[in-house]
Amino acid sequence: MSHGQTTTREAEWFFECSDPRHPDAPSGTRTRIVIRLSAARHILEKHVRPTNPEPWEDLLGEQGRRRYRQDPEADPIDLVMALGEQIQRCLAKPQAMLAWQSQPLAERGPQWHLVLPCGALAVLGSDSMQPQTEPSAWLKTCFFPQSACERTFPEHRWGATALDRLRYCFDFNSSDSLPRMAPTQDGPVRVGTRELRQIRFVTPETWWFDADQRLRPRSRTTWDGREGTPPAHRKLAPRRQILPDSQPFLRDV
């Protein structure tokens, strides 16, 4: 359920979701996240309108993206509603990585890194460590990482983005089964120019951790859990460098 609210500052839209900070998520506290007009405009200007490989057609349709590219004054409501629905679906699972930034910020809670069903990565700020029924998290940016853009089939973008988040935190070079490792990381882990710490992967099973805390990543797993054609095994370096399409994210948040 969502609605828009116009204030003297700017328009805001609220979406009711499961709160990933609750230890029983997604069965615990429900909260509301906020998408502000400024965030929607940022995503339009940095990611939707530019000529880049980010596949926003998957979410907005060909006509929807064309309209945003051709009309700088186009109402962002279609983008807001699409992102709100994707965030609600994500947090119903939930596919969330919670992390703190090492540098002091005005935010008092962890960042939420959400792998959306479409394969985009949404980053939310929060002002509380504890689950909240009132709005305490807000969308900061959303983009398709380079690895997701490189996938031929849209249903494989989700797995590619999830694998990227894992590679920021753990060193591994293949999609084979890995040794046991906890779905938490004290850090610090460098992501571009920033450091993240106290990282926690919510509902570890959705991140390919099995009951023995053994990580078994499959980059071509679809959102609904089906396995695609397994990729040929090849040695990959951990993805901890700034990706061209993620530079606005690293600079702005």
Q: Taking the domains of the chain in order of start, what are their residue ranges?
A: 2-252
Mean pLDDT confidence for 145-162:
88
Q: How do residues 100-144 score in pLDDT, each as one tens digit?
A: 765 555 457 788 999 999 999 999 998 766 666 566 789 999 999
- Summarize pLDDT for 173-226 with one digit per residue, the tens: 555 555 555 667 666 666 656 677 778 888 877 777 766 666 666 655 666 655
Instruction: Answer yes or no: pTM beyond 0.85.
Output: no
CB count within 10 Å of CB 235 equals 6
pLDDT at 252: 36
Pairing of strands 111-115, 121-126: antiparallel
* Cα distance from N-terminal residue to C-terminal residue, the chain: 27
DSSP bridge partners of 215 = 209
Please give the torsion angle defined by the CA atoms of residues 237, 100, 54 and 90, in that order, rounded to the nearest 10 degrees: 110
